Amino acid sequence: MQPKEAAAEDIVIVGAGLAGLAAALGLHRKGVRSLVLESSPSLRASGFAFTTWNNAFRALDTLGLGDKIRKQHLQVQTLRVMSSATGEIVQEADLTQQGKLGPHEIRCVRRDLLLKALEEELPKGTIRYSSKIVSIEEDGNIKILQLADGSVLRAKVLIGCDGINSVVAKWLGLAKPSYSGRSAARGLAHYPDGHGFEPRFLQFIGHGFRAGMLPCNDADVYWFFTWTPSENDNGIDESAAKMKRFVLGRLRGSKVPEEALAVIDKSEMSDVLAAPLRFRPPFSLVTASIAKGNVCVAGDALHPMTPDLGQGGCSALEDGVVLARCLGEALVGKDGAKGSAENERIEAGLSEYAGIRRWRSVELIATAYTVGFIQQSDNAILLCSIDLELTDGLVVSCSLPCRKGVRCLVLESSPALRASGFAFTTWTNAFRALDALGVGDKIREHHVLYERMITFSAATGEAAAKVSLKMQGKSGPHEIRCVKRDFLLQTLESELPKGTIRYSSKIVAIEEDGNVMVLHLADGSTMKTKVLIGCDGVNSVVAKWLGLPKPILSGRSATRGLAEYPAGHGFGPEILQFIGQGFRSGVLPCNDTSVYWNYTWYPSSADRDAEESVAKMRSYVLAKLRAAKIPAAALDVIERSEMSDVVSSPLRFRSPLALVRGSISRGGVCVAGDALHPMTPELGQGGCAALEDGVVLARCLGEAFGAGGNDGSHHEGIKAALGKYAEARRWRSVQLITAAYVVGFIQQSNNVVVKFLRDTFLSPLLAKTLVAMADYDCGTL
Ligand SMILES: Cc1cc2nc3c(=O)[nH]c(=O)nc-3n(C[C@H](O)[C@H](O)[C@H](O)COP(=O)(O)OP(=O)(O)OC[C@H]3O[C@@H](n4cnc5c(N)ncnc54)[C@H](O)[C@@H]3O)c2cc1C
């Protein structure tokens, strides 16, 4: 087909979904014309309806459409979460509470009505239907768009709102969306004579699925069902009829009330839809090009996410408003009137937009993923949050192969054992690892077993939650203690053959010589080894050699310390936690005489000064805590800590995405502990995971050395053993880093919607995450 002559347009938006139409209307309101290309022959309201939260109504109000949509939809007043296993109500929440910027507002909005309302406000001819973009080329600053019908368009600005399979996102080089392992079915039931349901968001969780229903108005009820398909489910999404039967079958097999089943039964076949759920790996957006020159993406083209927060469509509307503001200002606002060339202003406008939307997208995708993951799990233990530290796992991991009868040498840069961080929460999973190493009971003997956790509001001083820590896990009761690092390291060292650890031995460079690794030490000496295990912490030289990317700064800092009470401290077997006023702080007795404390916060540039010295840091923490409502006994713990017993550091984590494909091992080299998975401390799992690593690594390597009656020095055997270890730890590391990040984000977020979600129904889920992550068995040696 001969290309038709290229027509020229200033701003081309690809896709007439929520993001595309919101951006077009926003620009129109700013007096800027755009053309929207839509591949379908008419508006495509796939998905029927979506929960529309405050943030979306704020965007709709900005576009001048809020009241019209409000009139067409009723406000959902309450949330009821029920267990699909028992039929019992797990949680009820008022959805009309007062938020920071006014009362909360949640409606289930019909997509067709919203898209139509957006279209009606646009000048005639803004949307060109049956116009599918198939490729993008460049001619200087101009983008040349090839359409499926053979026509060509030239655009000065190209905005991709073309959904999850975005051509524009591909052109920008964004990572492909990943399959979440879950699918969703959705539908709409019409009741022309009225459905009679209360304005309630009803959810059913457990039994391997999450289902929900909520009325849009007096005549329509929307429902959804998300689940993890098994091989037996193959082909059920082939037709709406099969899908409907499948959903009804699953719901009938659980304790979901008849009235909910009737809603699904009533949906017409044309009103049922199923799709696998995909999301863009959130950390791929940290450094990705959301905008490049005069091209950018918005909506699902930017941040496809799993539907667990009900925020995909809402954030597409937010994108549209922010984009219209940034681009409109650049073109016609007071900045736009200034002298710089138009293409430079466009570039600056889009880059401002990308800056605003980058972290919002990362946080929403990551949060939605984690919430979905937890909600569908069947573990229903509730617990409040906890804040603990990382460990470098240096000696821990390296010492382990010795238990399998394999000799090894541990190189440590310090002149003696370095127990930096003083203590760490040691969860059930870590005790399993310590038992595998034969030191569990010795550690238990010297550390108090927690019975409960009390969380106080730092603003009011009141106890917000009291939770028993005597919980049953998958394979026995849970066990949580705060273990002193020096004691643990000394215990491990004492179990090792003399001379295993060589102190003051810092590796500065690594070279490969065939199957042998040559290590250069800071004192100028060299050493050769067949197996090199990097347990060298967050700044690992070995991780760098493997090509793993540098850890990212989380923007938060942590200070921790240890106070000694030779005559006894008087605290009970409990974790005390203070949350609010911009910080989280914990007080945790280790035994009868030692108490560990921690404090995490977002430092402002003014606080940098405090981080200069330990004395300043301690005074800073004390001033913050004194200004809040913290009991005198907790303040005394910090006041009592010796200067040498306080440390402070910025919190860093490795992008979990980097670990999805990154080399955890190569040949005879691998990493473990913080060298593998530095994470933020919200789950208190960094040190525990380092112990798990050690056991798994020792098992894999020990088997290789013992295999086949040879001495195990065979390179292929070692390589395979380290490869096996790497695969065993890859997903566990990704999961832990992501969960820790998301829990931290939710706990400290000041975002209105996230805060609201946290206060209504995320808190118990956060608690569940902590325990779920500890309910893990790394196996024996
Ligand atoms: C099960 C489920 C439940 C959900 N529930 C909610 C919820 O409760 N609340 C919420 O806020 N969000 C929810 N979402 C997310 C929400 O549906 C999406 O985030 C939202 O629709 C994204 O809008 P968009 O405009 O970016 O993309 P889309 O709605 O996908 O629009 C993209 C448009 O681009 C067009 N297009 C695609 N390719 C081309 C091309 N090459 N050329 C021209 N046109 C093209 C398409 O035809 C389409 O019209 C849910 C999603 C799922 C899967």
- Give me the residue label for tokens 């991780």: 543
Alpha carbon of 511 to ligand 1 centroid (Å): 50
Q: Is the CB of 316 under 6 A from ligand 1?
A: yes
- Are the C-beta atoms of 360 and 308 separated by less than 8 Å? no
Out of 38, 128, 213, give the residue to mutate to test ligand 1, the one with the largest number of ligand atoms within 8 Å of its CB: 38
Q: What is the pLDDT of residues 30-73, one digit of tens each?
A: 999 999 999 999 998 877 999 998 889 989 999 999 999 999 99
Q: Which two tokens stand for residue 81?
A: 């979460």
What is the distance, to the nearest Å, from the Cα of residue 745 to the centroid of all Cα atoms in its chain?
8
Q: Is the CB of 307 under 6 A from ligand 1?
A: yes
Q: Is the pTM of this model over 0.75?
A: no
Radius of gyration over every alpha carbon of the chain, rounded to an integer in angstroms: 28
User: Which residue blocks in 516-605 are alpha helix, DSSP H?
Assistant: 541-546
CATH of domain 410-774: 3.50.50.60
Alpha carbon of 432 to ligand 1 centroid (Å): 45
Alpha carbon of 581 to ligand 1 centroid (Å): 38
Q: What is the DSSP string of 226-261?
A: EE---GGGTTGGGSHHHHHHHHHHHHHTTT--HHHH
Q: For residue 452, how many other CB atoms are within 10 A of its CB?
A: 15
Nearest CA to ligand 1 atom 2: 307
Alpha carbon of 356 to ligand 1 centroid (Å): 21
Q: Identify the CA nearest to 443 among candidates 489, 500, 410.
A: 489
pLDDT at 467: 74
Distances (CA, A) of 780 to 430, 483, 699: 12, 21, 8
For residue 277, which atom of ligand 1 is closest to its CA?
53
Count Cα neighbours of 199 within 13 Å in the Cβ-side half-sphere: 17
CA distance 297 to 319: 9
pLDDT at 98: 65
Strand partners, 425: 482
- Are the C-beta atoms of 651 and 556 separated by less than 8 Å? yes
In this prediction, residue 554 has a pLDDT band, given cuts at 50, 70 and 90, of: confident
In this prediction, residue 390 has a pLDDT band, given cuts at 50, 70 and 90, of: very low
What is the distance, to the nearest Å, from the Cα of residue 583 to the centroid of all Cα atoms in its chain?
20
Q: Is the CB of 126 under 6 A from ligand 1?
A: no
Q: Is the CB of 206 under 6 A from ligand 1?
A: no
Q: Is the CB of 40 under 6 A from ligand 1?
A: yes
Alpha carbon of 17 to ligand 1 centroid (Å): 6
Q: What is the pLDDT of residues 568-600, one digit of tens each?
A: 999 999 999 887 777 888 999 999 999 999 988
Residue range 711-729: mean pLDDT, rounded: 84
Q: Is the CB of 36 under 6 A from ligand 1?
A: no
Helix (H, G, I), strand (E, B) or coil at 494: helix
pLDDT at 334: 64
Residue range 460-487: mean pLDDT, rounded: 82
Alpha carbon of 616 to ligand 1 centroid (Å): 51
Amino acid identity, residue 696?
V
CA distance 376 to 373: 6
pLDDT score of 473 more than 60: yes
pLDDT score of 614 more than 90: no
Strand partners, 487: none
- The domains of the chain are located at 9-384, 410-774
- Are the C-beta atoms of 44 and 161 separated by less than 8 Å? no
Q: What is the pLDDT of residues 394-431, one digit of tens each?
A: 333 333 445 556 778 899 988 888 766 689 999 989 99
Strands 152-160 and 142-147: antiparallel
pLDDT at 31: 94
Q: Is the CB of 313 under 6 A from ligand 1?
A: yes
pLDDT at 379: 30
In this prediction, residue 180 has a pLDDT band, given cuts at 50, 70 and 90, of: confident
Nearest CA to ligand 1 atom 21: 313
Nearest CA to ligand 1 atom 41: 133
Whether 410-774 and 9-384 are alike in CATH topology: the answer is: yes
Alpha carbon of 161 to ligand 1 centroid (Å): 9
CA distance 298 to 214: 27
Q: What is the pLDDT of residues 332-365, one digit of tens each?
A: 866 555 567 888 999 999 999 999 998 888 878 8
For residue 108, which atom of ligand 1 is closest to its CA?
8
- Are the C-beta atoms of 536 and 394 separated by less than 8 Å? yes
pLDDT at 393: 31
Handedness of CA 669, 674, 677, 678 (dihedral sign): negative
Residue range 242-261: mean pLDDT, rounded: 90
Q: Is the CB of 473 under 6 A from ligand 1?
A: no
- Are the C-beta atoms of 560 and 550 separated by less than 8 Å? no
CA distance 576 to 580: 14
Nearest CA to ligand 1 atom 50: 307
Distances (CA, A) of 363 to 92, 280, 341, 366: 26, 12, 34, 5
Angle at the Cα of 527 (from 524 to 530), degrees rounded to 5? 155
Q: Which two tokens stand for residue 622?
A: 């004390």
Q: Is the CB of 47 under 6 A from ligand 1?
A: yes
CA distance 676 to 180: 24
What is the distance, to the nearest Å, from the Cα of residue 629 to the centroid of all Cα atoms in its chain?
31
Out of 14, 50, 76, 365, give the residue to mutate to test ligand 1, the one with the largest number of ligand atoms within 8 Å of its CB: 50
Which backbone phi and psi does 185 adopt, to 5 degrees? -115, 145
In this prediction, residue 659 has a pLDDT band, given cuts at 50, 70 and 90, of: confident
Q: Identify the CA nearest to 183 among candidates 253, 301, 274.
A: 274
Residue range 697-719: mean pLDDT, rounded: 73
DSSP class of 300:
G
Residue range 614-639: mean pLDDT, rounded: 87
Q: Is the CB of 167 under 6 A from ligand 1?
A: yes
Q: For residue 490, how many other CB atoms are within 10 A of its CB?
A: 14
Share of the chain above pLDDT 90, in %: 50
CA distance 431 to 423: 15
Q: Is the CB of 375 under 6 A from ligand 1?
A: no
For residue 167, which atom of ligand 1 is closest to its CA?
41
Query: What CATH topology corresponds to 9-384?
Result: FAD/NAD(P)-binding domain (3.50.50)
Say how many residues make up the chain.
781
- Give me the residue label for tokens 């919430």: 371
Helix (H, G, I), strand (E, B) or coil at 603: coil
For residue 184, which atom of ligand 1 is closest to its CA?
1
Strands (E), 252-309: 272-279, 291-292, 295-297
Instruction: Using CB atoms within 10 Å of the CB of residue 486, give its burial: 0 to 12 exposed, 13 to 18 middle, 19+ buried.
Output: middle
Q: What is the pLDDT of residues 232-245, one digit of tens each?
A: 777 777 778 888 88
- Are the C-beta atoms of 293 and 121 separated by less than 8 Å? no
Nearest CA to ligand 1 atom 1: 184
pLDDT score of 729 more than 50: yes
In this prediction, residue 506 has a pLDDT band, given cuts at 50, 70 and 90, of: very high
Q: Is the CB of 160 under 6 A from ligand 1?
A: no
Q: Identify the CA nearest to 723 among candidates 778, 670, 675.
A: 670
Q: Is the CB of 384 under 6 A from ligand 1?
A: no
pLDDT at 401: 45
Q: Is the CB of 161 under 6 A from ligand 1?
A: yes
CA distance 220 to 263: 10
pLDDT at 337: 52
Which backbone phi and psi does 714 adopt, to 5 degrees? -60, 120
DSSP class of 174:
P
Q: For residue 236, how many other CB atoms are within 10 A of its CB?
A: 18
pLDDT at 756: 58
Q: Is the CB of 753 under 6 A from ligand 1?
A: no
pLDDT score of 757 more than 90: no
pLDDT at 687: 92
Query: Mean pLDDT in the chain?
Result: 84
